[in-house]
């Protein structure tokens, strides 16, 4: 290439085919001929490029190491020391994004192929004109810019994928930590994501690790129908669904919502959240049971008292003795209502933890005697005998006096009411290690094995032909159990139908300290 400056026409041959001049770039020229170096610099600087010069391949490597973002390097193939091909082998680790063009006076097909194999993009045969130089340079700069844009987009894509993977990992962590079950389906009604809490509703948890049709994964037909309905209608749906047999009382509240594209409103999938409402359903059942029980227990005595009063108001019972009997029965019915109200209030106070207790040392024999004295009228009416067998040297019990009376009153009254005529009730109190053991034994109707399993549940009363005449709320034994649990005691039942029952309570003793211990 001549060292004289190119003509104006030659210098303006730089624009690319689309008529746009490449942006200013840094170009390195590596050649052992000073004329080639200077000529290239004049032509390229006239185009606005920053031109660096190197006389040897070693110097070119050092220059690229200092400026690795150089866009283009023109490399002579034959130089003293390291040649152009060896330079291409070593330069990739130094400047991986630089485009290389080989300039040589020995241009052959073999050298072009070999240079291309080692990373050269193009070659320029000596001697060359300014137009030939600019054409190759401009084409190489476009190649370099495309290469860098591709690398930038690829790096941006990898960064976005990493952010997406990180966000997805966070989302999965949040979903996995949720107590509610979560099921995510795509538009093809395939399960694509779920958390451990969802295992209760999946047919095959292992199969759910990958996208599978819902009918192959979900074992609840009602849930499957709800998800499909939301997919069709694109509207949210909330539905109570039994997990198994409704008698098992295991229920979930399924909230299914569609996921729609903001712009096109096309369905992308559905998200289903399953909340365990088993306890709420049980509360509803208890409430319904409570309402039915209270309605029955209130209606029967009120209807009876209303009937008695109507008879007296209409003067159908002029006999004073008969009127006295009617008033006595009305009193009994109203007393049963008061007992029901008392039991309900006691349960409510215990549930609300609003019970006020005056805890002090209590003598169990004294409380037993007081309760038995209170039960004598009921026992006489039922023709039931009550006996006591009490150890006079029993240690005291730290408790509230009224609660102990309520506990024993419920046990003794049940032993009397569920007894038979001329039956017997024995109340025993002895010391059993660190406990005072109180046993209430009767030879009455007894309790079935099935009934014993539910004996301390609220409102439970075993229904048999022999117990139809016995009034009660089904709350007494549940109150007894709560009192015993509060004082860290325990209660056991030994019963057999038609042979009687024994309720045994253990309450912690309060031991008196001796002088030596003090």
Counting residues of the chain whose pLDDT is more than 90, the rounded percentage is: 21
Q: Of 164, 191, 189, 193, which is closest to residue 178 (Cα–Cα)? A: 193
Number of domains making up the chain = 4
Q: What is the mean pLDDT of residues 280-294?
A: 75
Query: 388 and 416, same structural domain?
Result: yes
Find the helix or strand (DSSP H, E) in which 65 lies.
Answer: helix 57-66
Give the model's pLDDT for residue 21: 53
Better-predicted residue by pLDDT, 203 or 61: 61
> Are residue 55 and residue 37 in the same domain, yes or no?
yes
pLDDT at residue 296 is higher than 80: no
Given 311, 327, 350, the domain boundary residue is: 350
Looking at per-residue pLDDT, the higher value among 254 and 357 belongs to 254
* pLDDT above 90 (res 220): no
Same domain (yes/no): 28, 118: yes
Supply the DSSP symbol for 206.
Answer: T
**Domain harbouring 234, CATH code:** 3.30.450.20
Higher pLDDT, 285 or 404: 404
Are the C-beta atoms of residues 211 and 191 closer than 8 Å to each other?
yes
Question: What pLDDT does residue 362 have?
Answer: 92
User: Measuring CA to CA, which residue among 482, 435, 475, 441 is closest to residue 458?
Assistant: 475
Of 150-154, 223-227, 365-369, the one with minimum mean pLDDT is 150-154
Using the predicted structure, report yes or no on whether residue 279 has a pLDDT greater than 80.
yes
Residue 172 resides in a domain: no
* pLDDT computed for residue 386 by the predictor: 93
Banded model confidence at residue 210, pLDDT cuts 50, 70, 90: low
Judged against a pLDDT cut of 50, whether residue 516 lies above it is answered with no
Asked whether residue 184 falls in the same domain as residue 106, the answer is no
Q: For residue 191, what are its two tokens?
A: 């399960």
The answer to whether residue 411 sits within a structural domain is: yes
Least confident of 203-207, 304-308, 495-499: 203-207
Residue 299: C-alpha distances to residues 303, 336, 339, 473 (Å) = 6, 12, 15, 13
pLDDT band at 511 (very low <50, low <70, confident <90, very high): low
Alpha carbons 341 and 344: distance in angstroms, whole number: 5
Question: Which of 85, 83, 3 is CA-nearest to residue 37?
Answer: 3
- Is residue 63, in this structure, part of any structural domain at all? yes
pLDDT mean over 346-358:
65
Provide mean pLDDT across the span 236-262.
Answer: 82
DSSP E strand boundaries for 305-422: 359-362, 385-390, 397-400
Q: Between these two residues, 48 and 350, which has the higher pLDDT value?
A: 48
Tell me: do 148 and 184 sit in the same domain. Answer: no
| 301-310, 403-412, 465-474: least confident range | 465-474
Residue 2 has pLDDT above 60, yes or no: no
Look at residue 337 and tell me if it is in a domain.
yes
CATH number, position 135: 3.40.50.2300
Q: Are residues 14 and 115 in the same domain?
A: yes
| Residue 449 counted as domain residue | yes
Asked whether residue 514 carries a pLDDT value surpassing 90, the answer given is no
CA atoms of 104 and 236, how far apart (whole Å) = 73
Structure confidence at residue 448 as a pLDDT band (50, 70, 90)? confident
Residue 375 has pLDDT above 50, yes or no: yes
Q: Is the pLDDT of residue 392 over 80?
A: yes
Q: Are residues 438 and 482 in the same domain?
A: yes
Beta-carbon neighbour count of residue 73 at 10 Å? Answer: 27
Mean pLDDT of the chain: 81
Instruction: Report which of 279, 217, 290, 291 is spatially closest to residue 251, judged by C-alpha positions.
Output: 279
**pLDDT for position 208:** 53
Whether residue 247 is found in the same domain as residue 374 = no
Return the half-sphere exposure (C-beta side, CA atoms, 13 A cut-off) of residue 236.
6
Inside any domain, residue 166? no
Predicted pLDDT at 467: 65
Last residue of a domain, one of 232, 250, 276: 276
- Tell me which of 10-14, 427-431, 489-493 is least confident: 10-14
Task: Give start and end residues of each alpha helix (H) in 67-206.
Answer: 84-91, 109-117, 130-177
303 and 417 share a domain? no
In a domain? residue 3: no
- Greater confidence (280 vs 439) lies with 439
Among 117, 133, 125, smallest CA distance to 85 is for: 117
Does the pLDDT value for residue 74 go beyond 60? Answer: yes
pLDDT level of residue 465 (50, 70, 90 thresholds): low
Kind of pairing between the strands at 181-186 and 267-276: antiparallel
d(CA 230, CA 78): 74
Region 395-405: what's the mean pLDDT?
91
301: containing domain: 287-350
Q: Which of 320, 249, 247 is nearest to 281 (CA)?
A: 249
In a domain, 516, yes or no: no
Instruction: Identify the band that residue 10 occupies on the pLDDT scale cut at 50, 70 and 90.
Output: very low
Give the Cα separation of 139 and 151 in Å (integer). Answer: 18
At residue 248, the pLDDT reads: 54
Q: Per residue, what are the HEC states of 267-311?
A: EEEEEEEEEECHHHHHHHHHHHHHHHHHHHHHHHHHHHHHHHHHH
Which CATH number characterizes residue 305's domain? 1.10.287.130
Higher-confidence position of 368 and 334:
368
Mean pLDDT score, 147-158: 84
Same domain, 333 and 266: no
Residue 479 is predicted with a pLDDT of 85
Q: What is the pLDDT of residue 79?
A: 85
Predicted model pTM: 0.45
Does residue 45 sit in the same domain as residue 131? yes
Give me the mean pLDDT over the 143-151 stretch. Answer: 84
User: 99 with 138: CB under 8 angstroms?
Assistant: no
Residue 434: band (very low, low, confident or very high) from pLDDT cuts 50, 70, 90: very high
Among the candidates 276, 297, 313, a domain finishes at: 276
323-337 residue pLDDT tens: 888 888 787 778 767
- Predicted confidence at residue 284, as pLDDT, reads 79
> Angle at CA 184, nearest 5°, toward 178 and 190?
150
The model's confidence at residue 7, banded by pLDDT at 50, 70 and 90, is: very low
Sorting pLDDT into bands at 50, 70 and 90, what band is 472? low
* Per-residue pLDDT, 429: 94
Crossing angle between the packed helical segments 476-486 and 320-351, to the nearest 10 degrees:
40
Is the same domain home to 205 and 265? yes
């Amino acid at each position: 290439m001549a060292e004289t400056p190119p003509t104006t026409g030659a210098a303006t041959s730089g624009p690319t085919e689309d008529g746009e001049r490449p942006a200013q770039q840094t170009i390195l020229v590596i050649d052992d001929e000073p004329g080639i170096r200077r000529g290239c610099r004049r032509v390229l600087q006239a185009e606005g490029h920053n031109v660096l010069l190197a006389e040897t391949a070693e110097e070119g490597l050092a220059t690229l190491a200092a400026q690795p973002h150089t866009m283009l390097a023109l490399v002579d193939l034959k130089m003293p020391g390291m040649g152009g091909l060896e330079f291409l082998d070593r330069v990739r680790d130094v400047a991986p994004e630089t485009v290389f063009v080989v300039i040589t006076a020995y241009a052959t097909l073999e050298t072009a192929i070999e240079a291309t194999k080692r990373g050269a993009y193009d070659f320029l045969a000596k001697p060359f004109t300014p137009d030939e130089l600019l054409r190759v340079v401009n084409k190489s700069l476009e190649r370099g810019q495309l290469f860098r844009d591709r690398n930038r987009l690829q790096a941006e894509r990898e960064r976005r994928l990493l952010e997406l993977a990180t966000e997805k990992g966070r989302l999965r962590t949040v979903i996995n930590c949720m107590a509610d079950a979560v099921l995510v389906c795509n538009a093809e009604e395939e399960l694509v994501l779920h958390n451990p809490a969802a295992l209760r509703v999946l047919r095959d948890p292992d199969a759910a690790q990958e996208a599978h049709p819902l009918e192959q994964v979900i074992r609840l037909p009602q849930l499957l129908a709800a998800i499909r309905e939301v997919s069709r209608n694109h509207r949210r749906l909330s539905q109570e669904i039994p997990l198994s047999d409704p008698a098992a009382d295991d229920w979930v509240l399924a909230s299914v919502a569609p996921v729609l594209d903001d712009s096109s409103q096309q369905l992308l999938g559905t998200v289903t959240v399953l909340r365990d409402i088993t306890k709420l359903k049980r509360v509803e059942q208890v409430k319904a049971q409570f309402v039915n029980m209270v309605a029955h227990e209130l209606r029967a005595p009120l209807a009876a008292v209303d009937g008695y009063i109507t008879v007296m108001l209409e003067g159908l019972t002029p006999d004073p003795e008969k009127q006295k009997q009617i008033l006595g029965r009305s009193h009994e019915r109203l007393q049963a209502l008061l007992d029901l109200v008392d039991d309900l209030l006691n349960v409510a106070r215990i549930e609300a933890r609003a019970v006020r207790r005056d805890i002090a040392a209590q003598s169990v024999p004294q409380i037993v005697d007081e309760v038995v004295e209170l039960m004598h009228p009921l026992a006489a009416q039922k023709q039931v005998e009550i006996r006591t067998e009490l150890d006079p040297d029993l240690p005291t019990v730290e408790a509230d006096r009224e609660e102990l009376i309520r506990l024993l009153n419920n046990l003794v009254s049940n032993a009397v009411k569920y007894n038979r005529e001329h039956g017997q009730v024995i109340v025993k109190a002895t010391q059993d290690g660190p406990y005072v053991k109180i046993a209430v034994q009767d030879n009455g109707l007894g309790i079935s094995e099935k009934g014993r399993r539910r004996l301390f549940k609220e409102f439970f009363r075993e229904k048999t032909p022999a117990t139809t005449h016995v009034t009660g709320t089904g709350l007494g034994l549940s109150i007894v159990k709560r009192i015993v649990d509060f004082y860290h005691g325990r209660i056991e039942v030994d019963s057999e139908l038609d042979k009687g029952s024994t309720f045994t309570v253990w309450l912690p003793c309060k031991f008196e300290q001796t002088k030596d211990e003090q």
